[in-house]
């Protein structure tokens, strides 16, 4: 049976309608779902204002052990690099010449004492004789003057004996302070001199130990203005927390305390010197060692901080975070960082309380995209 012309035209229009319908469905774009990101809402909190500054370790006390007697060095009585106590004998200088000088001074004193006895007796006799005019008044005056001269000679002889005794005692060189002693600067057999004050060794007291560092006067002025404006609260030196960061990046186990801030500014650098003190029972910290200190200088009642993982650091020192706007759009924002505390950065500029910062899912977004937010840590 053959189709009529009318039936053929109906089938043809029906086919066109089917193909047209299929074409319209293929042209409708499919919208991908908005990516899911983990976010945190920025809040203000009370945090310490911490400054990180470089400096060097310095011994609390340093004593140069020098010769106070002239002679040949006979013995070294300590182990180099060991701990010594105040009063320990460190070196022995040949005492023989000074012992002879001491004996000679004692003999001179004995002679002066004998001469005093003689002149005193003569003056006593002349006192009786001058009363009966048996000797002249001049002879009596001469006898009195000789007695006074003998007394003065005794005082000088006693001083000479004391000096000789001190010089003899200086042949035993003792430690002026307790601490760690370094290498011996001279060896046995060397001639040391009191005149040149020959250096024999150096003792340094290492526990506790100082850390000397500097801060710019500009930063101190800025901090003071913050105090005056009420943005920050002062921290007293006794309450200031001081943390030491060693050269290898580790944190020193013992906290320190701030001792003082210098009252003058170095005109060549514009820096002010500060000093902190740390316990050093294990002698890990050594004089001259470079380190950095984290110093709590104030308290910020409205501080802003953000997780470090949310911050992208640029090669030119810039810091950027991704935030979500009210219409769920991604926006890149540059911020200014303060210091790192545990796993967070403090933020001094660029963020405020209430901002929504993307922490998780940063690899699948870019500025301008629409995202779906969930609280950080609750994503599957």
pLDDT in tens, the chain (380 residues): 444 444 444 444 444 444 444 455 455 566 678 888 888 888 887 777 777 788 899 998 899 999 988 899 999 988 888 889 998 999 999 999 989 999 999 898 888 888 888 888 887 887 888 788 887 888 878 888 988 888 898 899 899 999 999 989 888 899 999 988 988 988 889 998 888 889 999 999 888 899 888 877 776 676 666 555 554 455 565 556 788 888 888 888 888 887 776 667 777 777 778 888 899 888 888 888 999 888 776 777 777 888 888 888 887 778 898 888 888 888 888 888 877 777 888 888 888 888 888 888 888 888 888 888 888 876 55
Instruction: Give CA–CA dist 172/95, Å, rounded.
Output: 8
Closest to 240 (Cα-Cα) out of 281, 299, 292, 291: 299
pLDDT at 12: 43
**What is the reported pLDDT for 230?**
53
pLDDT at res. 89: 92
What does the pLDDT read at residue 175? 92
**pLDDT of amino acid 134:** 81
pLDDT digits (tens, 9 = 90+) for 30-72: 667 888 888 888 888 777 777 778 889 999 889 999 998 889 9
Strand, helix or coil at 228? helix
Q: Which domains does the chain have, with CATH numbers?
A: 37-47+303-375 (2.40.420.20), 49-59+206-301 (2.40.30.170), 62-204 (2.40.50.100)
Note the pLDDT of residue 339.
72
Residue 100 pLDDT? 92
**Of 88, 100, 99, which is closest to residue 171 (Cα–Cα)?**
99
Residue 27's pLDDT is: 57
- Whether the bond between 208 and the residue before it is cis, its omega within 30 degrees of 0, is yes
Q: Please check whether residue 367 is in contact with residue 331, taking contact to mean a CB–CB distance below 8 angstroms.
A: yes
Q: Which of 262, 282, 288 is nearest to 210 (CA)?
A: 288
For the record, the structure tokens of 221 come out as 């002025």
Separation CA 207–CA 36 (nearest Å): 56
Looking at residue 315, its pLDDT comes to: 77
pLDDT reported for residue 201: 92
DSSP 229: H
Enter the pTM of the model: 0.61
């Amino acid at each position: 049976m053959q189709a009529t012309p009318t039936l053929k035209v109906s089938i043809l229009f029906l086919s066109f309608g089917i193909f047209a319908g299929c074409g319209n469905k293929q042209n409708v774009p499919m919208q991908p779902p908005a990516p899911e990101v983990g976010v945190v809402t920025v809040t203000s909190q009370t945090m310490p204002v911490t400054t990180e500054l470089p400096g060097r370790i310095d011994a609390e006390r340093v004593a140069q052990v020098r010769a106070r007697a002239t002679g040949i060095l006979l013995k070294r009585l300590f182990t180099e690099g060991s701990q010594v106590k105040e009063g320990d004998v460190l070196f022995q200088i040949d005492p023989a010449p000074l012992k002879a000088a001491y004996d000679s001074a004692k003999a001179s004193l004995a002679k002066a004492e004998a001469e005093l006895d003689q002149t005193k007796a003569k003056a006593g006799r002349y006192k009786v004789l001058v009363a009966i005019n048996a000797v002249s008044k001049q002879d009596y005056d001469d006898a009195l003057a000789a007695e006074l001269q003998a007394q003065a000679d005794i005082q000088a002889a006693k001083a000479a004996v004391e000096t000789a005794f001190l010089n003899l005692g200086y042949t035993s060189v003792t430690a002026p302070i307790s601490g760690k002693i370094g290498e011996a600067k001279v060896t046995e057999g060397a001639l040391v001199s009191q005149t040149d004050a020959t250096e024999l060794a150096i003792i340094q007291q290492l526990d506790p130990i100082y850390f000397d560092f500097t801060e710019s006067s500009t930063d101190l002025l800025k901090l003071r203005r913050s105090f005056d404006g009420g943005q920050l609260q002062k921290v007293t030196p006794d309450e200031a927390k001081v943390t030491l960061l060693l050269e290898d990046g580790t944190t020193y186990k013992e906290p320190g305390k701030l001792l003082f801030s210098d009252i003058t500014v170095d005109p060549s650098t514009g820096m002010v010197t500060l000093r902190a003190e740390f316990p050093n029972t294990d002698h890990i910290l050594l004089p001259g060692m470079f380190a950095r200190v984290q110093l709590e200088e104030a308290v910020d009642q409205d501080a802003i901080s953000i997780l470090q993982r949310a911050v992208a650091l640029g090669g030119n020192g810039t810091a950027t975070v991704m935030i979500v706007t009210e219409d769920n759009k991604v926006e890149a924002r540059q911020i200014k960082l303060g210091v790192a505390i545990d796993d967070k950065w403090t933020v001094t500029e660029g963020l405020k309380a209430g901002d929504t910062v993307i922490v998780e899912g940063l690899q699948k977004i870019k500025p301008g995209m629409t995202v779906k937010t969930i609280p950080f840590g609750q994503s599957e």
